[in-house]
């Protein structure tokens, strides 16, 4: 609204300020989405630490998110070297994980 008012009054200082605020808000929103993914990684890691050998399906139920999301978190934690596969099941839902020694 401030940008529209500034444009109508030809106040370009206010217009540029309003646009900068919009860009900053979008950046903070993106950062929040990124941090939410990292938070879920920590929750998944904590669950595996308390339940070694837990399968993807069990972790997803405990965390309360879909299996495909947990599978991405688990893959990222394996890539980071924090988890390893305890058993390599036929499907990702049946694989079990444990902390790296």
Q: Backbone dihedral region of 99: left (phi > 0), alpha (psi from -120 to 50 degrees) or beta? A: beta
Give the angle 89-55-43 at the CA atoms, nearest 5°: 140
Decide: residue 60, CB within 10 A, 0-12 exposed, 13-18 middle, 19+ buried: buried
Contact between 86 and 97 under an 8 Å Cβ cutoff? The reply is yes
Q: Residue 62: which of 32, 36, 40, 33 has the closest Cα? A: 40
The CB density around residue 4, as the number of other CB atoms within 10 Å, is 10
40 pLDDT tier (thresholds 50, 70, 90): confident
**pLDDT at res. 94:** 80
In this prediction, residues 33-60 reach a mean pLDDT of 85
């Amino acid at each position: 609204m401030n940008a529209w008012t500034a444009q109508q009054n030809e106040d370009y200082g206010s217009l540029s300020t309003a646009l900068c605020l919009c860009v900053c808000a979008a950046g903070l929103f993106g950062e929040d989405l990124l941090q939410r993914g990292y938070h879920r990684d920590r929750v998944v890691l904590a669950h595996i630490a308390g339940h070694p050998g837990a399968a993807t399906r069990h972790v997803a139920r405990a965390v309360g998110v879909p299996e495909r999301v947990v599978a991405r978190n688990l893959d990222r934690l394996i890539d980071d070297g924090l988890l390893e596969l305890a058993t390599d099941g036929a499907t990702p839902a049946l694989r079990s994980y444990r902390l790296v020694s």
